[in-house]
Structure 1
């Protein structure tokens, strides 16, 4: 296949949708932005979809309950479905801590690939202590770890160790998901 034929073929590939998931401080945003930079997938930060009430609640150190999360998750699924209808591939940084949350996200576009950035609480706590300007206090890490449901047998998803450097996490995700040049191409 020539380069021109390859480019034409990539334009006819269905859009791809990737959710980089994990607890706060795992590096979701960094890795999702890296995937976007390497592949051209349209990046979104799920935190930006939260209502003002949810943000205020988290800022004050109160964890969100499921009732607060459902509208947020449906908005994220709708965003991916809308991009899919436009022929645009996406990468989303989103906690997606429970399987039921991932199921809501899967109701958006025809398929979603999940990349779980997983690791020890100590590594994640250290990262959280180093970041500035984020409304999620480190005190909520324990509540997130308590509700985290790792992939169950039969649930598709890629697990990467947060102890790896961000560039290695990005490369591993791109390679293992088979993303590459043209992954974000718009059909046309």
Structure 2
């Protein structure tokens, strides 16, 4: 099974993704690993990425998802996947993707981003991500409130993904 953990910056994609992968005993891949140096530099300078910047990045993630699926591996991926078109592109990798949307109040997201150290994402970009976000519905994704503990979120993902499949 392929899990795609999505949400804006600061929502906990990496924390939840790593925890879920550990719990399932499978690999984890963060979308940040797939960004080009040019994309990372833009974001570090507070410049929002365009769709043209994102398509090659999304295609790299999609290829990794397809490879894991083809090898019949469980794998957890974390990616902002802000727009429905991005999620649709990623989900063509497999018919067996569980989409998980991490969402929460702007003040919680801003506080988390403000407390980060050593990450290339400029905190000023949070509002552009929120403006870009096309939230999935409960039919499309498991919806998780980031105010819950990571353990509660992970257990809920496992429980709900079993019910969906």
TM above 0.5, yes or no, is: yes
How far has the Cα of 1:89 moved from its partner?
1.3
- 8 Å CA contact 1:77, 1:109 repeated in 2: no
How far has the Cα of 1:41 moved from its partner?
2.5
Match of 1:136 in 2: 121
Query: Residues 152 and 175 of structure 1: is their aligned pair in 2 closer, same or farther, counting only changes over 3 Å?
Result: closer
Equivalenced residues, count: 163
Counterpart of 1:165 (choices 127, 149, 153) is 149
Task: Measure, in 1, the Cα distance between the counterparts of 2:132 and 2:49.
Answer: 11
Q: TM-score when scaled to structure 1? A: 0.83
The yes-or-no answer on 1:70 pairing with 2:55 is yes
Write out per-residue CA displacement over residues 43-64 of structure 1, whole angstroms, 9 at most, x where no aligned residue. 0011110011101110111010
3-state SS of paired residue (1:61): coil
Write out per-residue CA displacement over residues 76-96 of structure 1, whole angstroms, 9 at most, x where no aligned residue. 111111111111111011100
Larger radius of gyration: 1
Match of 1:150 in 2: 135
3-state SS of paired residue (2:148): coil
How far has the Cα of 1:152 moved from its partner?
4.1
Write out per-residue CA displacement over residues 92-147 of structure 1, whole angstroms, 9 at most, x where no aligned residue. 11100110000010111232111100011001101111111111111100000001
5+ residue gaps in structure 1?
Answer: 1-15, 180-188
Shifted more, 163-172 versus 56-65: the winner is: 163-172
Q: TM-score when scaled to structure 2? A: 0.95
3-state SS of paired residue (1:101): helix
Match of 1:90 in 2: 75
How far has the Cα of 1:22 moved from its partner?
0.3
Match of 1:124 in 2: 109
Task: Measure, in 2, the Cα distance between the counterparts of 1:152 and 1:167.
Answer: 23
- 8 Å CA contact 1:61, 1:140 repeated in 2: yes
